[in-house]
Amino acid sequence: MVIIMEEIKEHIASAAIWKLMEEIYDPEVPVISIIDLGIIRDVKINNDTIEVFITPTYSGCPAMDVISMNIRMVLLQNGFTKIKITQQLSPAWTTDWMTQNGKEKLKAYGIAPPVGKSFDKKYLEELKVECPLCHSQNTSLISQFGSTACKALYKCNDCLEPFDYFKCH
Ligand SMILES: [Zn+2]
């Protein structure tokens, strides 16, 4: 009976932790949560210790330290005191793990979401990236690197606005 109660408690705590993380946003794209980004791999509860496994969007991504700190802060504020954050580097994160909801939010924010799947070995030049502002497909690549290494800079040939494209990887 005691064991069952413990399991139920852990289950409730785990669901609560996942829910809390829906309110932690990517510091680089403040409209998309870390759940939408697909970087939270697992939450494990061992006695009183909460272990959160995160996979960085690319190795050495500077946003990861901020994200880890924010997870720790939110958990502390909600009464979880023993927190361990583990970076899980393998398998590597891919844009395929981003939720549909996350892609919609990216677009609404003015960043073109990744097109296709990470295993499509298309070159950026061949990609049809839709302008998030006017939805034109008449766009061209300006630079492989936009405001951060995960993004490329595009320009719309119709509305003439430059925009970031979240690259597939
Ligand atoms: Zn446009």
How far is the centre of ligand 1, averaged over its atoms, from the C-alpha of 104 (Å)? 17
How many residues are given for the chain? 169
Per-residue pLDDT at 151: 86
Element (H, E) at 103: helix 100-109
Centre of ligand 1 from the C-alpha of residue 99, in Å: 24
Among 35, 69, 87, residue at a domain's last position: 87
- pLDDT reported for residue 145: 81
* Cα separation, 86 vs 46, whole angstroms: 14
Q: What are the mean pLDDT values of the chain's consecutive 10-residue runs (169 residues total)?
A: 77 93 90 94 92 86 87 95 94 91 94 78 69 94 82 94 87
Let me know whether 106 and 145 are in one domain.
yes
Q: How remote is the CA of residue 3 from the centroid of ligand 1, in Å? A: 58
The pLDDT of residue 124 is 52
CA of 88 to the centre of ligand 1 (A): 38
Tell me which long-range contacts 108-112 makes (C-beta under 8 A, separation of at least 24).
108/31, 108/132, 109/29, 109/31, 109/32, 110/163, 110/164, 111/29, 111/151, 111/163, 111/164, 111/165, 111/166, 112/154, 112/163, 112/164, 112/165, 112/166
In a domain? residue 92: no
CA distance 24 to 32: 8
CA of 119 to the centre of ligand 1 (A): 27
Spacing, Cα 132 to ligand 1 middle (Å): 7
Range of the domain at 62: 2-87
**What's the gap in Å between 159 CA and the centre of ligand 1?**
4
Last residue of a domain, one of 44, 67, 87: 87
Count of structural domains within the chain: 2
- Tell me the CATH number at 56: 3.30.300.130
Task: Give residue 117 CA to ligand 1 midpoint distance, Å.
Answer: 23
Beta-carbon neighbour count of residue 72 at 10 Å?
A: 16
